[in-house]
């Protein structure tokens, strides 16, 4: 079978297709282990009562990413004879979930891997973690006095907390707090890079970046720290280019620019010993290995080598000791580690297999539409398609002016769909179909209605057109006969996915199989461990999905490490200021009134109350067996 979904390209050591048509997970820690069938994981979870939509985290994937990042830096340090160390920190905002952060801390401890906190709550999380004594906690973001005091005091109990100055005004507060406490903080300064990157975050880099200090502000900070006798505290320089940098040369240029500022500040007597280069290490969502926005033209190893080499050169040129290199990679550490599985509830097919009959008295445009099939041939498909469209659109206009009946319009729609199916059949059977026809026909795709909320589970797909690989979990050894876009269960026209990763890179519809009666059809959305969970919202009050953390066991199966039940209706109501108990009481009163008005009997009251309470405690998503 052709690699229709590009799995071989992007699945790279994580996901593969099996001969039996099932998608399976590969064990990156043990590549020789048999792949783990995803449909069997899902049915096993369902047997335990954990229904889809479910977010599945794979512990080994997270461990593998952390090991790989640290190993790549260690290799680069060795091969360039770099004299400094590497200390990575994970930006908590990229995935704040306790299960994820706890594991990152655990897997990262051997590497002295630390955390980046962009806010007070994130610092509170960081300070609750059992980090290695050599790990860093980098505090970015806007800070008030409480944040600064907590950060400075945390040093007294053994945390290496660096307060990164994001603005000149923050400096006053830091100096004042440090002097009040009589403690010397570890300080950093965030510089604004001039280099503009390509990719989705191009607009937020360069002059238009809203973060960081310009050269003249940095000099101001240096002078004021000197005056306050705190210049010895300024140990770290920070910069961040933006997320998902597609082109490795942008990384190199940014590193060179950062080094230029770093070496100049050292020349000014600033005792910098950490060079923090922020995040931006991208992942290849499409597997194209290109500098397109959803891809990257480099490997993790190349990224690390470029950084180490560039920093090494710059320091040698300036005759300075090699600083500790810090990066704040978020996406590259967690994106691979989780995926979402949901089922298709039903399909709206852009197809009508049988042609309805016309009726005496039908408008002539209906018979014209019907007649298109009589001159349909491969040489005339374009013409037939145009004619069918024209007659259908004219009929719609007639209907809107009340000139044809609703039943005539219904027949016209059916005839149109049937003619389109015939056109599609001819085009699909041609080895070299007329140019542009396939694209046109692919616009006429089915809608697969799926049990998930885009706004809750895949907000970046909605907000920034993020592409994630989406693949059916089963029947991959069968040629997909349909093309579909996916719609979620919110009542929002934006709640749809209409861009997909396929063998050619990306496409506006997903090749899918026709649904079969009595059989669930599952889709998996991959690489969603970064940013999605916390950015998601409660549109239509669809809450958090069920979440499980699994890992490979040594018998070729999987073990369930953790389960977090998705939100119930009770939960989501309380998020939006309802007291669910008040809702129950109010409904009781309404029922009571209905009983006294004679609208229902007391038994109905009991049944309805039970249904209401059951709904209140149930999952916010479609529940039950979704068979077709």
Ligand X SMILES: Cc1ncc(COP(=O)(O)O)c(C=O)c1O
Q: Which of 386, 520, 525, 515 is nearest to 453 (CA)?
A: 525
3-state secondary structure 294-341: CCCCCCHHHHHHHHHHHHHHHHHHCCCCCCEEECCCCHHHHHHHEEEE
d(CA 165, CA 109): 27
The neighbour count for residue 614, using CB atoms within 10 Å, is: 10
Which one of 70, 95, 99, 140 is in contact with ligand X (CB under 6 A)? 140
Binding mask 173-202 for ligand X (x = CB under 6 A): ------------------------------
Which one of 66, 94, 234, 467 is in contact with ligand X (CB under 6 A)? 94
Q: How far is CA 74 from CA 82, 85, 88, 114, in A?
A: 10, 8, 11, 16
Q: How far is the CB of 191 from ligand X (least distance, A)?
A: 12
Q: Which long-range contacts (CB under 8 A, 24 or more apart) does 71-80 make?
A: 72/300, 72/301, 72/303, 72/304, 72/305, 73/304, 73/308, 73/325, 75/301, 75/304, 75/305, 76/301, 76/304, 76/305, 76/307, 76/308, 76/309, 77/308, 79/305, 80/305, 80/308, 80/309, 80/312
* 358 three-state secondary structure: coil
Which one of 330, 459, 529, 543 is in contact with ligand X (CB under 6 A)? 330
Which one of 281, 366, 497, 507 is in contact with ligand X (CB under 6 A)? 281
Q: How far is the CB of 146 from ligand X (least distance, A)?
A: 21
Give 240 or 336: the residue with its C-beta nearer to ligand X.
240
Rg of the chain (C-alpha set): 29
Residues 279, 91: contact at Cβ < 8 Å?
yes
Q: How far is the CB of 246 from ligand X (least distance, A)?
A: 11
**Residue 209 touching ligand X (CB under 6 A):** no
Q: Interface with ligand X by CB under 6 A: which range of 18-26, 100-108, 278-286, 300-308?
A: 278-286
Q: Binding to ligand X (CB under 6 A): which residues in 526-585? A: 530
Q: Interface with ligand X by CB under 6 A: which range of 33-41, 238-246, 265-273, 377-385?
A: 238-246
The neighbour count for residue 145, using CB atoms within 10 Å, is: 12
Q: Binding to ligand X (CB under 6 A): which residues in 96-135? A: 116
Q: Interface with ligand X by CB under 6 A: which range of 236-244, 391-399, 405-413, 459-467?
A: 236-244
- Kindly give the interhelix angle for 364-371 and 381-400, rounded to the nearest 10 degrees: 160
Which one of 6, 28, 53, 91 is in contact with ligand X (CB under 6 A)? 91
Q: How far is the CB of 91 from ligand X (least distance, A)?
A: 4
Q: How many residues bind ligand X (CB under 6 A)?
A: 17
Give 11 or 212: the residue with its C-beta nearer to ligand X.
212
d(CA 572, CA 574): 5
Q: How far is the CB of 148 from ligand X (least distance, A)?
A: 18
Which one of 329, 457, 466, 490 is in contact with ligand X (CB under 6 A)? 329
Residues 569, 616: contact at Cβ < 8 Å?
yes
Give 97 or 243: the residue with its C-beta nearer to ligand X.
243
Residues 450, 486: contact at Cβ < 8 Å?
yes
Q: How far is the CB of 98 from ligand X (least distance, A)?
A: 19
**Residue 278 touching ligand X (CB under 6 A):** yes
Q: How far is the CB of 539 from ligand X (least distance, A)?
A: 24
First-residue to last-residue Cα distance in the chain: 26
**Residue 328 touching ligand X (CB under 6 A):** yes
Q: Which residues bind ligand X (CB under 6 A)?
A: 91, 94, 116, 140, 240, 243-244, 278-281, 328-332, 530
């Amino acid at each position: 079978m052709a690699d229709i979904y590009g799995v071989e390209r992007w699945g790279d050591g994580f996901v593969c297709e099996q001969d039996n048509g099932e998608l399976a997970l590969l064990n990156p820690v043990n590549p020789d282990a048999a792949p783990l069938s995803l449909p069997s994981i899902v049915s096993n979870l369902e047997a335990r009562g954990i229904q889809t939509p479910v977010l599945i985290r794979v512990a080994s994937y997270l461990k593998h990413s952390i090991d790989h990042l640290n190993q790549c830096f260690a290799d680069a340090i060795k091969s360039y004879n770099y004299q400094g160390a590497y200390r990575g920190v994970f930006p908590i905002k990229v995935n704040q979930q306790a299960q994820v952060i706890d594991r990152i801390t655990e897997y990262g401890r051997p590497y002295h891997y630390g955390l980046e906190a962009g806010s007070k709550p994130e610092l509170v999380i960081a300070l609750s973690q059992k980090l290695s004594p050599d790990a860093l906690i980098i505090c970015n973001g806007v800070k008030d006095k409480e944040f600064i005091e907590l950060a400075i005091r945390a040093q007294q109990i053994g945390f290496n907390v660096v307060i990164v100055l994001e603005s000149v005004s923050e400096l006053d507060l830091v100096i004042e707090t440090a002097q009040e406490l009589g403690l010397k903080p570890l300080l950093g300064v965030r510089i604004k890079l001039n280099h503009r990157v390509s990719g989705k975050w191009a607009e937020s880099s360069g002059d238009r970046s809203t973060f960081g200090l310009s050269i003249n502000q940095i000099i101001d900070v240096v002078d004021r720290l000197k005056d306050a006798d705190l210049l010895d505290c300024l140990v770290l320089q920070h910069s961040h280019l933006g997320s998902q940098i597609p082109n490795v040369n942008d990384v190199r240029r940014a590193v060179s620019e950062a080094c230029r500022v770093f070496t100049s500040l050292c020349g000014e007597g600033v005792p910098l010993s950490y060079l923090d280069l922020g995040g931006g290490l991208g992942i290849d969502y499409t597997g194209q290995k290109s500098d397109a926005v959803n891809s990257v033209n480099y490997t993790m190893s190349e990224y690390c080598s470029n950084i180490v080499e560039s920093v090494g050169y710059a320091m040698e040129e300036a005759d300075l000791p090699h600083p500790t290199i810090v990066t704040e990679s978020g996406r590259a550490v967690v994106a691979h580690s989780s995926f979402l599985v949901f089922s298709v509830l039903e399909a709206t097919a852009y197809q009508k297999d049988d042609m309805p009959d016309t009726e005496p008295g039908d408008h002539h445009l209906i018979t014209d539409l019907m007649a298109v099939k009589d001159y349909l041939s491969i040489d005339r498909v374009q013409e037939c398609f145009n004619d069918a469209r024209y007659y259908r659109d004219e009929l719609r206009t007639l209907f809107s002016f009340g000139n044809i009946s609703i039943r005539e319009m219904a027949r016209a729609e059916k005839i149109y769909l049937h003619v389109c199916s015939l056109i599609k059949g001819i085009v699909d059977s041609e080895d070299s179909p007329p140019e542009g026809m396939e694209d046109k026909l692919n616009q006429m795709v089915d809608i697969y209605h799926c049990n998930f909320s885009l706004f809750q589970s895949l907000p970046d797909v909605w907000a920034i057109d993020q592409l994630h690989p989406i693949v059916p979990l089963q029947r991959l050894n069968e040629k997909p006969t349909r093309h579909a876009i996916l719609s979620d269960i919110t009542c929002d026209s934006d709640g749809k996915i209409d861009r997909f990763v396929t063998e050619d890179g990306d496409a506006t519809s997903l090749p899918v199989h026709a649904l079969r009666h009595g059989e669930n059809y599952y889709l998996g959305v991959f690489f969603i461990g970064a940013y999605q969970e916390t950015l998601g919202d409660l549109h239509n009050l669809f809450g958090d999905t069920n979440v499980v953390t699994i890992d490979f066991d040594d018998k070729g199966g999987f073990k369930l490490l953790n389960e977090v039940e998705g939100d119930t209706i009770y939960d989501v109501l309380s998020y939006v200021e309802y007291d669910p108990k008040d809702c129950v009481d109010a409904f009781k009163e309404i029922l009571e009134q209905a009983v006294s008005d004679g609208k229902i009997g007391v038994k109905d009251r009991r049944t309805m109350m039970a249904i209401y309470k059951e709904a209140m405690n149930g999952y916010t998503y479609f529940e039950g067996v979704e068979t077709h």
